[in-house]
Structure 1
Amino acid sequence: MRKIFLASTLLLAAPLTALADDGMSYTYVEGGWNQLQMNSSILNDPKANGGYVRGSFAIAEQVNVFGGWSRVSDTTRYAFSSVKTTLEQPHLGIGYHMPMSERVDFTADIAWNRRTGKGEVHSDGMTYSTKTSVNTAVGNFGVRGKPSAKTEAWLKAGYMDGSDHFKGTWTGTVGGQVSFNRTWGVVAEGQFYDDFAEYRVGVRASF
């Protein structure tokens, strides 16, 4: 009788364990490659490449804090000079999520972002530098779900506004993850606003 009880307990616990293994974690660290693209025919649709790191930490059952840093740069060379442009973006925010079903969460977040652009012109052995920064705030809402045990997908819409005459604009974000196990996965994401698009591909460790 004891063996039957133990076997029954394990069978009943198995679906719960599988659901826990397949659950979405809001505590993770991530890093990889990113690219910033600008839609401008005058500038020949410039692109800048670089890297990023970011992470999230669940501070309550439905609340998490997150932050990160990214950097992209591009160098244009001419006959007797070159121009290097660099953009750095640290960000920090707080998020909320609420289950809509066993596999789908409603998500909302708000974040601060500081965009710092640097320009360096090298010509005739001389270097001329410029630097400008702007603070922005962005609020998002969307959904995050698990199409299957090893995959995740998310979709967000938001609005971004900032200081120093930064023009407010709507934003859209779409992304997904393929998991190798409970900890490791590969992430891809695209964020779109105004005439810009940011793409990220990285490795995520979830806890």
Structure 2
Amino acid sequence: MRKIIALAAALLAAAPLTASAAESMSYTWVEGGWTQLQISSPGSNPKLDGGYVRGSFAIAEQVYVFGGYSQVSETYDLSDDFGRVSIKQELNQPELGIGYHMPFTDRLDFTTDIAWMRINDELTLKQDNWPDQSLKTHTNAGRVTAGLRGKPSRATEAWLKAGYIDGSDMDGEWIGTLGGQVKFNRTWGLVGEVQYFDDITQYSVGVRASF
């Protein structure tokens, strides 16, 4: 976490504190791409791959609403003297929230948001000569974060957020997010983000269209 904070601080500090002709940061955009969830646990470190879509829409000068959906899965194939066993784990997560941003300079904003999220987890067991079995669980959670979003240069953005997440069937945990964007033009950009809480790290890479 200290490395993430130090890196983001260095990127944001590189942004000039004086007015410039650089394009302002947009809070209306849509995005989609690849995501991977890595879970650190004793004896194993499963990685679940999938995709995501999300977007943000400015409803006032400093207020925006946002939402998203991600789905990741992994299948594990095992075999023994009794036959073949296949275990599939699938996680999907919808999210809705509202945020606020306040400019410090032309290139640096303070941001804060609050969101509802639902984590749906499904395990499916397939075994030779046996009917399929499945187990489904879900967790409703709330998340509050605050951070900085800035433009180190005309064609790049970086953001850092830290906060707290808590909900049913889970202990409250601190959460941190580091992300960035390289813009090809006024509309299109390539986005990368890392999110960390408890023993879960999520990596995302996607394409964003800003309006």
Which residue number in structure 2 is paired with residue 176 of structure 1? 180
Report the number of matched residues: 188
Aligned to 1:54: 54
**Normalization by structure 2: what TM-score?**
0.87
Kindly provide the amino acid, as one letter, of the partner of residue 35 in structure 1.
Answer: Q
CA contact 2:20–2:106 (8 Å) conserved in 1: no
Pick 1 or 2: higher relative contact order, CA cutoff 8 A, min separation 6: 2
- Report 1:14-163 matches (<5 A): 18-19=21-22, 22-42=23-43, 44-79=44-79, 80-125=84-129, 126-163=131-168
The AA in structure 2 aligned to 1:18 is: A
* Larger-Rg structure: 1
Query: Could you say what the CA RMSD is over the residues aligned between the two structures, in angstroms?
Result: 1.2
Report the Cα distance in structure 1 between the residues aligned to 2:64 and 2:124, rounded to whole angstroms.
38
- Give the AA of the match of 1:110: I
Provide the identity percentage.
Answer: 59
Unpaired segments of 5 or more residues in structure 2? Answer: 1-18
Structure 2 Cα separation of the partners of residues 91 and 121 of structure 1:
28
Cα offset, 1:39, TM superposition: 1.1
Q: CA deviation at 1:17?
A: 9.1
Greater alpha carbon shift after TM alignment, 33-42 vs 106-115: 33-42
Give CA-to-partner distance per residue, 1:87-137, whole Å, 9 cap, x none: 000000000000011100000000000000001000014210110001000
- Please report how far the alpha carbon of residue 142 of structure 1 lies from its aligned counterpart in structure 2 after TM superposition: 0.1
Runs (4+) of structure 1 exceeding 3 A deviation are: 16-19
Q: Is the 8 A contact 2:28 2:56 kept in 1?
A: yes
3-state SS, counterpart of residue 185 of structure 1: strand
